Amino acid sequence: MKEAVSVEEVINRPEVVLIDVRTNSEHQKGTIPGAINLSLFDEEERGEIGILYRMVGPAEARIKGLALASSKLTRLVESLQKYYHREIVFFCWRGGLRSQALASVLKLVGFKSYYLEGGYKAYRRFIINYFSEYEYKQKFTVLEGLTGVGKTEVIQALQRIGEPALDLENLAGHRGSVFGHIGLATRRSQKDFDALLAQELEHLKDYKYIIVECESRRIGNIYLPAPFFEAMKKGVRILLYDCLEARIKRLVATYLAFKQENFFLIHEAISLLQPRLGKQKTALLQNFFKQENYKAAVNFLLQEYYDPLYHFPACPDKNYPLSVWSGEPEKAALEIKDYLKKIT
């Protein structure tokens, strides 16, 4: 590869090591999937260089940047020794001083190092164009069902048997309801979600169909790309169903596995339901949780809030071409796979 590489070259070479040399806050707002954050400057230093660039000029800003970076170069090189025999691509915001400087220094000491032309800004532009130009040739299959039937478990079982299934909630870092963030480590940024979704679509582009869980366009703080969501709306619908008792058990296990850590978040989420449930029902629900009567709380939520909200059938329904019991996700996945093979 030449010293400066394009986004397309990086996308087509997944074996390269991507190093994001921007600050942690820049990295958190969005990065390239799989990139390692190795900041050349901290937030204060970046701000200082930015002020110099605006108030004095680019030459003075570069000199200041060089002075700040020089004391860190040995440490940075040592931290990358494990990648000495691999190709490394550095990137910053625009493919400027930070990434070029590190690529040059590492090349001098024998690394196969390069920088991303146009930086993360060019990558972000590539992702935006990807969704606007993507042709949805695959037929979407959408798994529908009441809250707690285990749609995500069936999606994951489909993935395990090699079916082209997308776990949108995992990509978003959110399960899509007021409780959707509880029990999950971090939420994704919109930019990271877009990048991960584009990566998944590229992997699945040669399949005849794509399987997804029924979602609204918004999943927590994430929005599905409009063309993608429109393709979902036109897809084949498959109903998943399970009994109320199993749904309650599944939801208790999902949201209350770490009840101490999640209790405050649950309390906060219940408060957001008051406009729909009213003060009396909200207080009753809060009391169930305080008494650790989790089965009663989840049962109350399903029957008073979620089931009336979504209106999906609780048992097999003739309005669906296929209704599948979701109590055993692996069996459900195989049944869905067999059905889709017949109709595609």
Do 4-128 and 134-343 share a fold?
no
Assigned CATH topology for domain 4-128: Oxidized Rhodanese; domain 1 (3.40.250)
Number of H-type helices and E-type strands within the chain: 18, 12
How does residue 186 score in pLDDT terms, banded at 50, 70 and 90? Answer: low
For domain 134-343, the question of CATH label 3.90.320 is answered with: no
How does residue 57 score in pLDDT terms, banded at 50, 70 and 90? Answer: confident
- Assess whether pLDDT exceeds 50 at residue 154: yes
Averaged pLDDT, 100-124: 93
More confident residue, 31 or 133: 31
Token pair for residue 236? 């084949």
Contacts of 315 (CB under 8 A, 6+ apart): 241, 323
Q: Which amino acid is at 242?
A: D
The structure tokens 């008051």 sit at 274
Q: Give exposure, 55-93, as e/b (b: 16+ Cβ within 10 Å).
A: eeeeeebbebbeebbeeeeeebbeebeebeeeebbbbbb
Q: Which residues carry out catalysis? A: 92
Averaged pLDDT, 284-291: 85
Contacts of 141 (CB under 8 A, 6+ apart): 209, 210, 211, 212, 235, 236, 238, 336, 340
Averaged pLDDT, 39-53: 83
Averaged pLDDT, 189-198: 96
Rg (CA), the chain: 24
**Is residue 338 helix, strand or coil?**
helix
- Domain layout of the chain by residue ranges: 4-128, 134-343
**pTM, entire model:** 0.86
Write down the mean pLDDT value for the chain: 88
pLDDT at 176 (0 to 100): 52
